[in-house]
Structure 1
Amino acid sequence: MLRHTVWERAPFLVLALAAFVAAERAPGLALGVLLAMLFLVTGVGGVLMPAWMDIVGRAIPVTLRGRFFALANLAASAVGFAGSFLTSHVLETVPAPRSYGICFLYASACMALSYIALALVREPAASTAAPPVALRTYLARVPALLRRDANLRRFLLARAFAIAAMMASGFYTVYALAAWDAPPSQAGVFTTLLLAGQVAGNVSLGWLADRMGHRVVIIVGLAATVGANLLALGAPSLAAFGAVFVLAGIQGAAISVSNLNVLLEFAPTPREQPTYVGLGTTSMAPVACGAPLAAGLAADAFGFTAVFAAATAAGVIGLALLVFAVRDPRHSGHVDIN
């Protein structure tokens, strides 16, 4: 993993070089480099995610993973918040595009520190090593896995509806500013409320995940999404609408704490954990890409309230599936909680 994760980090140096050298002389080239580097970073990150979660699954006990992810999220938020002031200072005092180059250099330094921390991790040896198989053979096993694991199928269906329920979140700010003729600065207030919800969610949901399981946390997060959509439909004032962003922040915390961790617990054996993580994330990609596009088209054709109503309906269906059809994998008997 150390060998390949370099390609998640090196692109920021390339972006800094493009900002210093090409942005003024060849802006089209700089834009092309930016898009290519973003594709590389996200692509490599997606490929390495199952391997990263495999390390998490072997290095961190089941009943500590929720708090581990919550603490990591809180630390990242704190550093990001502090970094936002530095970024703002650079952008205000240094002419563009040099200012962007400096910001990319700062990002490269942070990525280098992250790499050093990852290199210091001592990965526990796998109890059983899966024999290597050809990619075609590996992919051919996926349909059989889904047929065999009905609980996983129901969970993935519930997740698809949960993603559809979140499609309205991109329109909250636009709708609120237009509905109450609020100044653009109100968006900053909404961002603060969103961060407050995330902090509160991470503090509480990490503990809840370790005590009661990640399924419960995902239910809480989806219930917060349904509540946010309902409140967006019926908020009587701009101040009341602020609660929508607090609930959206709680949902974001639930996703960060539990969405990947629960897939580790669905896997019947440790060596199948990377497969379950890869399947659980990749299978949601069509919904994650299609739902926001459909929401945008629906907003243009029918208005924001129609999008909020459809998202609410999707969330209720997903919530019903999680509560009544999906069993908590932690209590299935194959998860070692020690």
Structure 2
Amino acid sequence: MLSTDIQKIKQDFPDYIEAVEKNYRWNFLMLALDSSFFSFSVAMLSQDTIIPYFVSKLTEHPAYIGLVPAIYYLGYFFPQLIGAFLVNGRPTRKWPIFWIAATERVGILAIALVAQFTGLISNELALLILMISFLVFSVTNGLIGPAYGDFTSKNIIRNRGLFFGFNGALGGLIGLAASLIATHLLNSYDFPINLRYLFWLGFGTSFISPFFIASFREVPFPIQTKTEDLKTFLKTIPQHIRKSLGFKRYLLVRSFMNFGLMGNAFFAIYAISRFGLDSGAVGVFTMIILLTQTLMGFLLGWLGDRHGYKMVYVFDCVLFILTGVLSLTAASPLAFYIIAVCMGGMYAVQRVGDANMVFELAPPEQTSRFIGINNTFMAPVLTIAPLVGGLIVDGLSHQALFATVLAVGIAALWLCIKYLPDPRKQIIAA
């Protein structure tokens, strides 16, 4: 089934869609391979498990653990308007994607160097450099988002849910292999040697995916938007949001839902502490998240393709609620492994739902801009949420944090059902 944006483009520019169709299978495969192989490296830098584990070895303060996902989300989402500006007025996206991808490797290298020198420098200095390095990685990883998403929206013109499901499955299999390797390294070597091997492996394998990016085939988009300076580009954002009531509602509801992620960086560390698990549990937790993200990606892609992506977000809210209940009532490590399953589902929603919802709500010629607006708008919540989680743990307890996650999940479910737009029912008029 064609999504609403592709139906409009096909109606206005049938020759463009015909040309894009010729490259459909090739770009489908190249996009999937690029994303999937890079996921191997990303699995070695998980903001929910690996990096928090590293931080926990450098400091005893839980607030610093909460800072890890905060840095990731701030760095990944907030600069995306700049990423959208970088491709503003350009008819193609391929080479900006390639050069931004090349710079991503700088942050991975810096993190590997921090692990290499841990023990030779003070923990305080290592922690500071680690946070800065992780921020560099997150920012470069985020800048690519608008151009990459726009390229995907223009070239995956049908069966997008299937694409994201297949993409997630391939990435999940590779990520699963990465998590098995991570588990082996974390169990087989003492800190910090285990992380040194882990990060250098992630750095080395990160150089595979740029070859796939260079192989993308692109047809210039027929609508040429006017090139704007940065001031004008940013100044017109409120105007674009006001023109789309559906997009505005989506921004507000999705932002609140993201508060439900505040506990994700604490579940694995809490389980290790409470039940006396070994360090390898971090790798197992990562493996479960990736495997679930893979399987749920197919399910959610099928659901979204056929019934719209609002149902996908309702499912996401149910996962928040289940996570809160399980964390409050856990009597064994099994409960936290089920929580890892829920987390995998949440990330599958991010991967499959967020992109497709924006693709359908945005004007086709403004996809990069709307992706940038969406992701930058989400940045404050995604940054604040884990910081609030860390403060709750520091000031109260883990149980208080888990109760907060449950409350957010219940409220988010009500908001999602009542206010989240459904583009398939054309709730997109201003």
> Under a length normalisation based on structure 1, what TM-score does the superposition of the two structures give?
0.82
Structure 2 CA distance for aligned equivalents of residues 205 and 97 of structure 1: 39
Q: Deviations over 1:280-324 (max 9, x none)?
A: 111111111111111222223332232222222222222222211
- 1:311 is aligned with what amino acid? V
Query: Which runs of no fewer than 5 residues in structure 1 stay unpaired?
Result: none
User: C-alpha distance in 2, partners of 1:302/1:31?
Assistant: 25
The aligned residue for residue 403 of structure 2 is 309
Note the C-alpha offset of 1:132. Answer: 0.2
Runs of 4+ in 1 over 6 A off after TM superposition: 28-33, 88-91, 93-99
Give distance in 2, aligned partners of 1:170 and 1:25. 25
**Would the aligned equivalents of 2:249 and 2:421 in 1 still touch at CA under 8 Å?**
no
Matched, 1:5 2:101: yes
Q: Which residue of 2 aligns with 1:144?
A: 239
Q: Which runs of 5+ in 2 are unaligned?
A: 1-95
1:170 is aligned to 2:265: yes
**Would the aligned equivalents of 2:323 and 2:342 in 1 still touch at CA under 8 Å?**
yes
2:360 paired with 1:275:
no
Residue 299 (structure 1) aligned to one of 393, 396, 420: 393
Aligned match of 1:160:
255
Counterpart contact for 2:171–2:294, Cα < 8 Å: no
Equivalent residue for 2:165, pick from 48, 70, 74: 70
Report how far residue 19 of structure 1 moved. 7.4
Is contact 1:69–1:256 with CA below 8 Å preserved after alignment? yes
Task: Give the corresponding residue for 1:126.
Answer: 221
CA RMSD in angstroms, aligned pairs only: 3.4
1:264 counterpart letter in structure 2: F
Alignment map for 1:135-284 (pairs within 5 Å): 135-176=230-271, 181-185=274-278, 187=281, 190-191=285-286, 193-235=288-330, 238-240=333-335, 242-267=337-362, 269-284=363-378
Following the alignment from structure 2 to structure 1, what is the Cα–Cα distance between the partners of residues 127 and 337? Answer: 36
From 384, 401, 413, the counterpart of 1:319: 413
- Report the counterpart of residue 79 of structure 1 in structure 2: 174
TM-score where L is the length of structure 2 = 0.66
Secondary structure, in 3 states, of the residue corresponding to 1:230?
helix
AA aligned to 1:228 is T
Distance across 1 between alignment mates of 2:228 and 2:310: 32
Structure 1, residues 163-192: CA drift from partner, whole Å, max 9, x if none? 1122123333455556xx522149456555
Between the two proteins, the alignment pairs up a number of residues equal to: 327
SS in 1 for 2:206: helix
- SS of match in other structure, 2:117: coil
Letter in 1 for 2:142: G
Separation of aligned partners in 2, 1:140 and 1:218: 30
